[in-house]
Chains A and B, each alone.
Chain A
Amino acid sequence: MRMSFVPATIAREPWKVILPLVALVLFGAAVLYSASGGSMQPYAASHVIRFLVFLVMALVISRLPEDLFKWLAYPAYGAMIVLLILVELLGAMGGGSQRWLNLGFMTLQPSELMKPTIVLVLASFYSTLPASMIASWRGLLPAFGLMGLPVGLVILQPDLGTSLAICFGGFVVMFLAGLPLRWFIGAGAAAAVIAPIAFFTLLHDYQRRRVTTFLDPESDPLGAGYHITQSKIAIGSGGLFGKGFGNGSQSHLEYLPEAHTDFVFATMAEEWGLIGGLFVLLVFAIVLRWGLVVARNAKSRFARLLAAGMTVTIFFYIAVNLMMVVGFAPVVGIPLPFMSHGGSSMLTIMICVGTLMAVNRWNQRSSSFT
């Protein structure tokens, strides 16, 4: 019986998303291999190893029951808040801003983990909220409280990109939870008014500069606009088929900043051209589409919101990074999932993936029972 179950278990794994992801990670490793001048060290090998470790972790997560997720939502949220405060305190003691905790074997950014956590806690909140209250202040204010606390702490770090990501994930869950549409329209209108004010009051100088140079990168070609300009040069000079593996001059000659992290897509596009870029977009499309399908197939309101929120969190990474790299968004330090070299973000992404796989399993179980 057990023997006959093993193939079935394996068969039930979402291979149609795991295989594209593996392909993308290997592709990313190849790009990192080239970026480090044709060497597995220091990026490519650790990239693959990390992915494998986190994939195992995701598979473990996917085995967890829905009740455990629900039960864990608030404690996990509380733990993240504590970590955020801890980071803040350490930063204050160290006399500067700090975003990570050194765990010895890896550095952990609590603000990263906050992204799936906010989705989890809001999904839990709305799943327990009586449907009749959804359009009342009781459907809104607690959610704002749950979001406001971590966002405030992250902005203090200061980390605009991550706080926007947390907000984005939170708002999308609220949107999908069925909050009245006019609230969102109203909020959008309010944001249009507040954003310029916030731009000149809340943002730090360097953040403001990023936005202004984004609007006109050539105004500061050697300063902050340099990143965007060089990234566009890398992508544009790659052409249709790229300059060939290992031949990217922009990355190899160090014109492209952050060639192995935030701007890894430009590094790739220079050597692999438009074809490589479309391949990456295709894999992302497969993953995101699968995420939404899982969400739509979910049986419970909690699972639906959770899966959709996780998908959107991944989407946010991808969209902001790619828009930045092609010159559609200001430079914010957000890595590209599965391709950029970096532990914390991959951990977050794989938690999202693991959660989606868990929801997928819940869907399969319930469907097989019916």
Chain B
Amino acid sequence: MLDDKRHVSQATLHNSFDRRSIFIGSVQGGVGVLLAGRLAYLAVAENEKYELEAESNRVNLSLIPPRRGWILDRKGRPLASNRADFRVDVVPDRMSEDAATITQLADLLQLSAVELRDLQKKVKKSQGFAPVEVASGIDWDRFAAVSVRLPDLPGVVTQRGYSRYYPTGPSVGHLLGYVGTASREDWLKEDKAPLLITPGFKIGKDGMEKQFDLELRGYPGARRVEVTARGRIVRDLETRDDVPGDSVRLTIDGPLQDYAARRIGLESGAVVVMDCRNGDILAASSMPSFDPNSFSDGIGSIEWKMLREDDHVPLRNKVLRGLYPPGSTVKPMVGLAFMEAGLDPEETAFCGGGLRVGSRVFHCWNRRGHGHVNLAKAIYQSCDVYFYHFAQKIGMDRIATMARRLGLGEEYDIPVVGQSYGTVPDPAWKKRKYDRDWETFDTVNATIGQGYVLANPLQQAVMAARIASGRNIMPRLLYKNQAPKIASLGLAPDHLAYVRQAMADVVSGIGTARRAALPLEDIRLAGKTGTAQVVSLSVSGGKTGPWKYRDHGHFICFAPFDNPRYACAVTIEHGGGSGSAYPVARDVMTFLFDSTKALEKLHDLERAWGGTAQQRLDAKYSATVAEVGDGAQETEGEEEPEEVLEQETAPPEPTAPIVEEARTPPPEPETPTLPDPASPAPGATITGNEGAVGSDPPAVPAPADPAQAAPSPPSQPSQPPQPGAATP
């Protein structure tokens, strides 16, 4: 009806208005009830949820990186500590205008062109969410300059924090490793722990720092702050302090470690000192090294380039990763094997300067010959022919067994990132490895520590300690108060005494290392020299010529010889012979008994070298920067330093490849040239001048007999099998 136009009147419209206004009113009321219900639902039913969300809006939890535990030496002196510093990081993901922000930062922090370029590269390669260190250890003024501009610099984080500090710098580089910001892999491995991407937090990247990372790490503190939506901090709510990491106490003697590292000087080498009574490693120095302080701050590209291109491989820990033919340092061990096999030590062999084995002549280092030689003389004069002669009678298996008993070829149970444990060859090993039968000349080579024999400096130290103590000494790195129970090696005491006496004679007037005697009244040293040939004599004489062709110098020793307390092994890569090694050993051993005297010596030497290891490293860096300088724009597609370092250290590649090629004896008996594996003990006529280790030791290893060399080309660097077996 209402719809019928003809019946519509003002009255019906009024009625309609009344009804419809009630409808409108009801809708309004309904909306009001709906809104009230919604309010109640939000404010009462969901109150808890929204309260939480409001809190999480308001409160920002930021982690405070824990102070890293100290690494202490055996007497509790810090080898690695922390120092307070001001630092600036950027989180690339939070930056709005990367380029502008970084340029401004560089300006505020007065970064050099090189540093700026490194920073830009780091930011470009970064993961985005992970902080990138811009600068640390900066002074207050520059820190403040950045801090006050933070609101205009999104993504920039300033912090008062701690940075790792290694007081002795390069001396502990290889031993302790270094710390650095976590990589993406580290972060994923730990289930994306937020601590790992907290600016300023570092994890151990190598050495002890990596090995004991979790102990050293501690627990982060937390700071709750009230922040605005734009991230401005309104006030601190509460702060929970961090729990510093546990300290780790090593068996290392800090001053000794530093002394040994510095004493290596300009050479490339390693020094290991052990306590003969309990196996404590007192020093394990490898030089040249890197400065873990600057590594921990994030290493610059130029510094990295400098270290990587150094032929002295400062990035390899030679104590554990350096494998060398030990040369004549194995002779006391071989002598013990002989005696245990029943050889009378007084039985002599005649040394006329060489010995024919099969179709080849193996020379003694002393071409004039030693005459009649018994075991004692064979050790203190390092006569090769004696060992060539008797080794053939005794056989390789017995020698190899003794070598293993004395710790060669062994991987020790010590907390290190990696060890290259080398090779103790025997017939079974050669068959397995090369599918070839063991030949007599293999025995001859091995018996003087050449051929397939490879050992690292730590193993040589263990060997020395075991000979010195007669017990099955195991190296220890973690300091423990109680002495370990160490079993006897089961060697006859008179055999040991005989060998020890012979080793003491090495350092006497009749031995090869007369000048290794300690400059102390009442303490006698016992030792054994070793010179390991690197390339065939046809390539280089080993004493002079290109550095990388020079012989390795070794020296193992212990003191006091009649009541052994300390054992030491020194290896000098390409030092030209053992004459480069024993002066180092002597001074390091002197330091143990009379540090003042030893330090005087070192200071004199360092004056000639141009400063301490740290000073020389810094000077070298400055020189490199000046040279490459800002023009280092062609930073040729270099890899990320850390990754390369891992590549560098991970595969336990023995030593420079050239070494392996020529060092090994030719596999075919017909090949007459042998890389004469003589280990000359240059002691007798040494020209003094121990400091300049590169100098020529007088003793010359026997060159290959020209007559024998005739039938085939003298050097076969291409043929010989890889001595290999270096892989753990």
Contact B24 A278 (CB under 8 A): no
CB distance from B236 to the nearest CB of A (A): 15
Given contacts A232-B50, A237-B50, A253-B228, contact A326 B39 (CB under 8 A): yes
CB distance from A8 to the nearest CB of B (A): 30
The answer for the CA separation of A236 and B54 in the assembled complex, in Å, is 9
Contact B39 A178 (CB under 8 A): no
Contact B10 A326 (CB under 8 A): no
The answer for the CA separation of A38 and B140 in the assembled complex, in Å, is 36
Partner of A269, one of B3, B5, B39, B229: B39
Contact B13 A285 (CB under 8 A): no
Contact A296 B21 (CB under 8 A): yes
The answer for the CA separation of A237 and B38 in the assembled complex, in Å, is 14
**A342 on the B face (CB < 8 A):** no
Report A271-289 residues with CB < 8 Å from chain B CB: 273-274, 277-278, 281, 284-285, 288-289
Which residues of B sit under 8 angstroms from A305, Cβ to Cβ? 17
Contact A323 B35 (CB under 8 A): yes
> DSSP majority for the B interface?
helix
The 0/1 profile, CB within 8 Å of B marked 1, for residues 353-366 of chain A is: 00000000000000
Contact B16 A178 (CB under 8 A): yes
**B685 on the A face (CB < 8 A):** no
Given contacts A253-B234, A285-B32, contact A295 B43 (CB under 8 A): no
Contact A269 B43 (CB under 8 A): yes
Contact A131 B54 (CB under 8 A): no
Minimum CB distance partner of A184 in chain B: B20
CB distance from B8 to the nearest CB of A (A): 5
Number of CB contacts from chain A to chain B under 8 A: 152
Report B134-181 residues with CB < 8 Å from chain A CB: none
The answer for the CA separation of A178 and B9 in the assembled complex, in Å, is 10
The answer for the CA separation of A273 and B44 in the assembled complex, in Å, is 9
**A205 on the B face (CB < 8 A):** no
Contact A176 B44 (CB under 8 A): no
Contact B39 A274 (CB under 8 A): yes
Which residues of A sit under 8 angstroms from B58, Cβ to Cβ? 249-250, 253, 255
Contact B51 A236 (CB under 8 A): yes
Minimum CB distance partner of B10 in chain A: A131
Partner of A235, one of B36, B39, B57, B230: B39
The 0/1 profile, CB within 8 Å of B marked 1, for residues 146-189 of chain A is: 00000000000000000000000000100111101110000000
Which residues of A sit under 8 angstroms from B6, Cβ to Cβ? 132
The size of the chain A interface, using a CB distance under 8 A, is 55
Contact A240 B35 (CB under 8 A): no
The 0/1 profile, CB within 8 Å of B marked 1, for residues 27-54 of chain A is: 0000000000000000000000000000
Which residues of A sit under 8 angstroms from B228, Cβ to Cβ? 253-255
Contact B36 A281 (CB under 8 A): yes
**A202 on the B face (CB < 8 A):** no
**A209 on the B face (CB < 8 A):** no
The 0/1 profile, CB within 8 Å of A marked 1, for residues 201-223 of chain B is: 00000000000000000000000
Contact B8 A281 (CB under 8 A): no
The size of the chain B interface, using a CB distance under 8 A, is 46
Contact A250 B54 (CB under 8 A): yes
Contact A178 B3 (CB under 8 A): no
Which residues of B sit under 8 angstroms from A301, Cβ to Cβ? 10, 13-14, 17
CB distance from A179 to the nearest CB of B (A): 9
The 0/1 profile, CB within 8 Å of A marked 1, for residues 353-396 of chain B is: 00000000000000000000000000000000000000000000
The answer for the CA separation of A175 and B16 in the assembled complex, in Å, is 9
Contact A255 B229 (CB under 8 A): yes
**B97 on the A face (CB < 8 A):** no
Partner of B31, one of A177, A255, A319: A319
Contact B50 A233 (CB under 8 A): yes
Minimum CB distance partner of B5 in chain A: A135
Given contacts A180-B2, A250-B57, contact A131 B8 (CB under 8 A): yes
Given contacts A175-B20, A281-B35, A289-B25, contact A131 B9 (CB under 8 A): yes
Given contacts A239-B51, A255-B57, contact A134 B20 (CB under 8 A): no
Given contacts A131-B8, A176-B21, A180-B2, contact A233 B43 (CB under 8 A): no
**B42 on the A face (CB < 8 A):** yes
Report A60-117 residues with CB < 8 Å from chain B CB: none
Contact B5 A132 (CB under 8 A): yes
**B343 on the A face (CB < 8 A):** no
Which residues of B sit under 8 angstroms from A269, Cβ to Cβ? 39, 43
Contact A308 B43 (CB under 8 A): no
Given contacts A131-B8, A304-B17, contact A239 B54 (CB under 8 A): no
Contact A235 B35 (CB under 8 A): no
CB distance from B39 to the nearest CB of A (A): 4
**B12 on the A face (CB < 8 A):** yes
**B226 on the A face (CB < 8 A):** yes
Given contacts A274-B39, A274-B43, contact A176 B229 (CB under 8 A): no
Given contacts A233-B57, A322-B35, A326-B39, contact A292 B229 (CB under 8 A): no
**B618 on the A face (CB < 8 A):** no
Contact B20 A176 (CB under 8 A): yes
The 0/1 profile, CB within 8 Å of B marked 1, for residues 242-260 of chain A is: 0000000110011100000
Contact B17 A237 (CB under 8 A): no
The answer for the CA separation of A270 and B54 in the assembled complex, in Å, is 10
**B107 on the A face (CB < 8 A):** no
Partner of B47, one of A230, A236, A255, A308: A236
The answer for the CA separation of A289 and B10 in the assembled complex, in Å, is 25
Can you offer 21 A-B residue contacts whose CB atoms are under 8 A?
A133-B5, A135-B5, A175-B24, A176-B20, A182-B3, A233-B50, A233-B53, A235-B39, A236-B43, A236-B53, A237-B50, A249-B54, A250-B54, A253-B227, A255-B58, A274-B44, A277-B36, A277-B43, A278-B36, A292-B25, A326-B35
A277-B36, A308-B21 are known contacts; what are 10 more A-B pairs with Cβ within 8 Å?
A: A131-B8, A132-B8, A181-B3, A235-B50, A249-B54, A249-B57, A253-B226, A292-B28, A304-B14, A323-B35
- List of 6 A-B pairs having minimum Cβ-Cβ separation, nearest first: A236-B50, A237-B54, A178-B16, A274-B43, A178-B13, A236-B42
